[in-house]
């Protein structure tokens, strides 16, 4: 079994420095922390589970890993989770991945070394993260729950937003109004989970999404949506309806339509995803897909606390729970056949 002394020997420091570095102490420089963590990772070090038990089974702390908190979607998730855990007496430690594999792994390792009571991993993007997840769960005896993972990672409790029917409903509303051509605007991240659902919804109605009408921008948020719509409007035959991967992009897309002197939804229909509060208060309130992140957060918190408390045995089969997204029709898409 690898010990702190083994790591200390390779790092050229004493065991107490290794212990402080693995605990993310401010007394150790960031450079030394990185060096010690790299050595610990190479040696496949995990702390003795019995030693952890000696210092107390609960830290009253939960690790929450998110890709970011700049977007409204992930900020809502963070707020909802913190609210739920506060009611149960837990504090939250947040790790941000910036959609990077190395940051996803590093956040997991740091939370494991801090011996949090449980970890919620949101928006997991990389299947290779599975190896680190297994090591944290099995080596540190820390339960882990996945929320709205983008990649397929088996073997863990998972709560996911099912948006298939809601996107299909939005597509159907547009088609019922005579719209047959569709476009999509997304960025390098957000398109991964939503574009395939959109294509599927179109295919179910014998519609397709032209390659030139599929815009994936380098820019994000409103500016990305604005640039994406400008690109669509520059096509010889622009689509009649556009799905923006999230509401901020849809808002930027609307601005480009207005600047072109076109009318919404008569000339171009637009719908987004997330159902952010700002969308409801636009000059033309935005049609969108409501993502029930608060419900997802509540279920995720219940799953992790069940694992922590022991009410769910660690060998009990994992649970995959789906919460339904819903289409919210406002002014940026046509009314239904009967003016609905």
Render pLDDT for 105-142 as a digit per residue (tens, 0 to 9): 999 999 998 889 999 999 988 888 999 999 999 888 89
CATH number at residue 8: 1.10.260.40
Q: For residue range 167-204, list pLDDT tens digits in order.
A: 999 999 999 999 999 999 999 988 888 999 999 999 99
Same domain, 69 and 213: no
Structural domains counted in the chain: 3
β-sheet bridge partners, residue 241: 182, 269
In a domain, 97, yes or no: yes
Domain of 120? 57-161+293-309
Residue 327 and residue 170 in contact, taking contact as beta carbons nearer than 8 Å: yes
Instruction: State residue 53's pLDDT score.
Output: 44
Give the pLDDT confidence score for residue 311 in this predicted structure: 60
Residue indicated by tokens 């970011």: 68
- Does 194 share its domain with 258? yes
At 227-280, the pLDDT tens digits run 999 999 999 999 999 999 999 999 999 999 999 999 999 999 999 999 999 999
Contact 245, 187 (CB under 8 A): yes
Domain presence at residue 319: no
- pLDDT digits over 286-307, tens only? 999 999 999 999 999 999 999 8
Phi and psi torsions of 310, nearest 5°: 90, 0
Looking up tokens 């640039």 gives 227
What are the tokens at 17? 């420095």
CA 274 distance to own-chain centroid: 12
Contact 170, 271 (CB under 8 A): yes
**The domain that contains 253 carries what CATH number?**
3.40.50.2300
CB atoms within 10 A of CB 42: 11
Decide: 168 and 201 in contact? Cβ < 8 Å: yes
Determine what percent of the chain is predicted with pLDDT higher than 70.
93
Q: Is residue 24 scored above 80 in pLDDT? A: no
Return the pLDDT at 20: 78
């Amino acid at each position: 079994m690898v010990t702190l002394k083994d790591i200390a020997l390779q790092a050229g420091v004493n065991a107490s420095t290794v212990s402080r570095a693995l605990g993310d102490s401010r007394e150790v420089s960031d450079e030394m922390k990185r060096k010690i963590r790299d050595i610990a990772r190479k040696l496949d070090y995990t702390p003795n589970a019995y030693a952890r038990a000696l210092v107390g089974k609960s830290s009253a702390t939960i690790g929450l890993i998110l890709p970011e908190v700049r977007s409204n979607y992930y900020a809502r998730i963070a707020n909802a989770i913190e609210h739920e855990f506060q009611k149960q007496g837990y504090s939250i430690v947040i790790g941000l991945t910036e959609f990077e594999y190395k940051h996803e792994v590093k956040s997991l390792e740091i939370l494991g070394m801090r011996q949090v009571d449980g970890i919620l991993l949101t928006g997991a993007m990389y299947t290779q993260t599975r190896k680190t997840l297994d090591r944290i769960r099995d080596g540190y005896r820390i339960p882990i729950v996945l929320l709205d993972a983008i990649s397929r990672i088996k073997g863990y409790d998972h709560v996911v937003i099912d948006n298939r029917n809601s996107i299909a409903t939005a597509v159907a509303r547009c088609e019922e109004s005579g719209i047959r051509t569709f476009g999509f605007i997304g960025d390098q991240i957000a398109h991964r989970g939503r574009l395939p659902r959109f294509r599927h919804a179109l295919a179910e109605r014998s519609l397709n999404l032209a390659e030139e009408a599929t815009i994936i921008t380098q820019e994000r948020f409103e500016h990305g949506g604005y640039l994406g719509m400008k690109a669509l409007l520059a096509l010889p035959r622009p689509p009649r309806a556009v799905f923006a991967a999230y509401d901020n992009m849809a808002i930027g897309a609307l601005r480009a339509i207005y600047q072109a002197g076109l009318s919404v939804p008569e000339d171009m229909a637009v719908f987004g995803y997330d159902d952010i509060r700002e969308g409801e208060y636009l000059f033309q309130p935005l049609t969108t897909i409501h993502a029930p992140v608060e419900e997802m957060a509540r279920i995720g918190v219940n799953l992790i606390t069940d694992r922590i408390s022991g009410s769910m045995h660690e060998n009990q089969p994992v649970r995959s729970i789906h919460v339904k997204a819903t289409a919210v029709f406002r002014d940026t898409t046509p009314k239904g056949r009967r003016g609905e």
